[in-house]
Structure 1
């Protein structure tokens, strides 16, 4: 295996990288700041940039040797740059892109078209000859592709997308505003009460404008995604392909109630002004975080790596700063945590500083994760039997899309989910494969490629006392490769090396509690004014000066930046009060 043959070289490589970063991390630390951000994930960096631009003196401390959190690029295998966790961009809020001038600070994105490719093991369709389903931005091509399986579905698909677009127009404005303040007017300032009224009025006005859609919107939010898809379509390759958006990153089946919202969440994006578009960030997803960090630093933010926060210092229910693992104390009037609610309130805040009922509620937050991410370096582009490469090294259009494997039928997804409910990793895992090097030439040597595999379902804890040790991880990765081999023979032999991140790895390495990429399940009981809990849904905490700014807050997960910006707004409002 790669991990055995190249371990000594990799160790020397990592030591070299860590040495360089350690020199970078030696930036002098001041004794106090106006605001301190725990965690240099993209949301924490967004918050820092907004605060620094507004005139606050801000410091960001990151426990790892590299910034980015889950939106990170790492050269795990020499010469190959991996988007180690998150791997696509679309949900990032356009307002933040503009406010922070991210293109000026180095962000470059490659739009994808087509967007989705589902190869079939055996030819099928109406004439028995269809080998795959490819979807993209071209309406006519989409209809031709779908018509291979159902002429009815080809006609209805346009109407389905128009319906989703109307739903997004209703819900999307909520992503850029803080949730309505549930505790009531007595605890909110006049400006916040006014904002609540504006939000309510805007949402109700949008619903009124689309009143005929309200029953269907309600159904999509509440029902299993499969119920909705079955009402619209009859062909399984189409339904299963669309169903993947309802379960990606979630311990749900398309047959689970609430999976419809997850589907809607993943179509709310926009890139380069194109609604619903997804793309690859040049240099990997760390390019997003680096651009935000460049903006923040350009305005004066201090960003420190290799600095682990041991505790949040609190005196008389007021934040005073943080204590680092090395014994350093940094004073700060405001502390923003980009960590999960669990890490923030149960690991970093002293137990006696929070109400017992709040600590109990935080323990009940759902962090279940189905995801194992496998990052692979290969020496040639995969060759799919369904659509063979024209030449050995040719990049075909479908290589640029999200490739869905074991997704010809929705029941395959459901059966994979059932395996995980029984404490087993899926026998036929749902695999989303992307090959960002198909568009981005900066992340792999010429002729070689970076292949990123987002796989489900793998429970955090395995049955029968099995552990996610090296042997189990290799067994699972081999199973995934065997599945790919059925669609793209020769894939396994093309592998140069691989990096396997199970749910415990995602937690231990990236700080994602439970391995959950969204900082908590995106279920209806953990959304909007209930994210992460109703008592702490407005970014503030019971401790004065302590805030959550990560994906565990509204509007939730994905590389959006919105939680960071909205948390920064709360901090700025409170900071103005301190100055009066």
Structure 2
């Protein structure tokens, strides 16, 4: 990580702001015994804790960092500039969580974006044309027609097709995956009850109906093959393909990349399907609202309480945790918001888990292509394809996800190939967002915070080179050069920057391999197989120990579903303790 001008002051400001935010939901003294302990105060851990406490289970959350939220945090890296330091957009948060935990009452506010996607074209060294997509279908079709009138006519049908697929798959997100072994084990009545788990699958199949073969193709094919069926213009295909590879060490030509696209259009915002928005005050606002809801029900929440290991009883069952300072906290349930790798390979004492289980966890694909760069600037970027107004006010495209180096899918594939050989992409895919365009409280007057979500960068560089400060700055300078090509003057506007390579994302946020989803969202690591076959229902081989983070079904994103679902499973077990 590197920070530009204002380095020393930035870290002082970061620490003070972090502690204030962290303790907004913290309460009381740590007790030596609870009904449930949640390891990690990421958004999923906080969701799980809120539901447990709401159901009368005395719960504590133990977070190792100085602030809550995991990857959904707001940090003041440069004085006066509040960054959504890791995750930066909201859409996937399950609507029932917002309703059941009354998150609006606890302060959650979201700025909806419309338009939502802007792709300037760099053609023959000039960035003149652009593609602007929004919720007004007529306007969007006019934009697409610049490149293909055929694509403009096809686009509404494509959107409707995706919407039907997402609606059919939606019920699968809010329940534990089906456990086939439960159908053949135990008493007959228990096996019959297990069949109830088929209901979400059956509902999904019935909803898809005749479209089941098409859905299967979307789930298994490369996204380029799907997009080629619908469209002919590369700028549109490349723009849409970004949702299929964002956060994934995959090319648009990789089989199964279609599911990642579906995952990114599954959400909604204020009733608008597939919409994404900026959280007021940064992404820490989501975590703080959930923490506030949990605390209102009586959850004890603590920061700077790193867990060293899970405490096991004489029969190998979870009985609490041991903190790094040696403090023992007893509990009947332990839910881990940490990754599967950290939970089972480091926090559980050796020799307590089956070898096959450990092998599968160790082999869980956590490759990440992401380097996140947070930038403080003293003025809005002005794009050649859409120059700024004279008064310096944000224009509609400034609120969008701005896609750079996305003129065609071949560019994305080439960038992927370079990272696969251990080299950062020479022309990286860049998703540029300016949340302060809608939320001016994030930066001083006239200034802005810019999020650069870039790929592809490998976790391990070729030749064993370390991701040292020189390598980090060289890559960030390359990214800035490309932004400059589309928006001249950008580099001169930079006040400070925060560079988070895959190893930095792993170290700071506990993201294994730097993977924002806690593990690849590939078909071999979803549903039945997330994180390990036969243990996809949040339980683990250790009785009383549950996985409630993004490494569990249905996966990553600021969704909350793993936390809510895991709490439901743990509650059922708790009633029988």
Give unmatched runs, 5+ long, in structure 2. Answer: none
- 1:112-152 Cα distance to aligned partner (Å, 9 max, x none): 0011000011389xxx9971001010110111000000010
CA distance in 2, matches of 1:129, 1:405: 10
Asked if 1:149 corresponds to 2:147, the answer is yes
Q: Which residue, out of 167, 182, 185, partners 2:183?
A: 185
Q: Could you give the per-residue CA deviations for residues 287-339 of structure 1, whole angstroms, max 9, x where no partner exists?
A: 00000000000111111101111111112211111111111111111100000
Equivalent runs, 1:39-54 vs 2, <5 Å:
39-54=40-55
How far is 1:187 from its partner?
5.3
Question: How far did residue 389 of structure 1 move?
Answer: 1.0
Rate the CA distance shift 1:143–1:492 in 2: closer, same or farther, 3 A: same
Asked if residue 122 in structure 1 is aligned to residue 128 in structure 2, the reply is no
Instruction: Give 1:173 deviation, angstroms.
Output: 1.1
Q: Which residue of 2 aligns with 1:55?
A: 56
Corresponding position of 1:266: 264
The two structures have a TM-score, normalised by structure 1, of: 0.95
Deviation (angstroms), 1:273: 1.1
| Per-residue deviation, 1:209 | 4.4
Residue in 1 that maps onto 2:459 = 460
What are the residue-to-residue correspondences of 1:301-380 with 2, within 5 Å? 301-315=299-313, 316-380=315-379
2:508 maps to 1:497: no
Structure 2 partner of 1:559: 558
Number of the residue aligned with 2:226: 228
Q: Which residue of the partner structure matches residue 176 of structure 1?
A: 174
The structural deviation recorded for 1:6 is: 2.7
Match of 2:215 in 1: 217
1:47-90, CA deviations, whole angstroms, 9 ceiling, x for partnerless residues? 00000000011000000000000111111111111111111000
Cα shift at 1:207: 2.9
Where does residue 7 of structure 2 map in the other structure? 7
2:441 aligned counterpart, secondary structure: coil
Equivalent position of 2:93 in the other structure:
92
Secondary structure, aligned partner of 2:484: helix
Any unmatched runs of 5+ in structure 1? none
- Counterpart of 2:562 in 1: which secondary structure? helix
Q: Classify 1:543/1:9 alpha carbon distance in 2 versus 1 (closer, same or farther; 3 Å).
A: same
CA 192–302 in structure 1, closer or farther in 2 if over 3 Å, else same: farther
Q: Aligned to 2:573, what secondary structure does the other structure show?
A: helix
Contact 1:123 1:130 in 2 (8 A): no
**Contact 1:314-1:353 at 8 Å conserved across structures:** no
Root mean square deviation of aligned Cα: 2.1
Shift of 1:451: 0.4
Query: What is the number of equivalent residue pairs in this alignment?
Result: 575
Distance 1:534 1:2 in 2: 40
Q: 1:138 and 2:108 equivalent?
A: no
Residues 369 and 175 (structure 1), Cα distance of their counterparts in 2 relative to 1, 3 Å cut: same
Post-superposition offset of 1:411:
0.3
Once residues 552 and 524 of structure 2 are traced to their aligned partners in structure 1, the CA distance between those partners, rounded to angstroms, is 13
Equivalent residue, structure 1, for 2:34: 33
* Length-normalised TM-score, structure 2: 0.96
2:490 and 2:505 map into 1 onto residues whose CA distance is: 25
Q: Which residue of 1 aligns with 2:398?
A: 399
Structure 1 segments of 4 or more deviating over 6 A?
21-26, 188-192
CA 542–203 in structure 1, closer or farther in 2 if over 3 Å, else same: closer
Native 8 Å contact 2:50 2:299 kept in 1: yes
Alpha-carbon deviation of 1:210?
3.4
Deviation at 1:27, TM superposition (A): 4.1
The question of whether the paired residues in 1 share the 8 Å contact of 2:17 and 2:75 is answered with: no
Is structure 2 residue 448 aligned with structure 1 residue 431?
no
| Aligned ranges 1:565-576 → 2 under 5 Å | 565-576=564-575
Distance 1:475 1:190, change over 3 A: farther
Q: What secondary structure sits across from 1:213 in the alignment?
A: helix
| CA distance in 2: counterparts of 1:189 and 1:397, whole angstroms | 61
Distance 2:45 2:196 in 1: 27
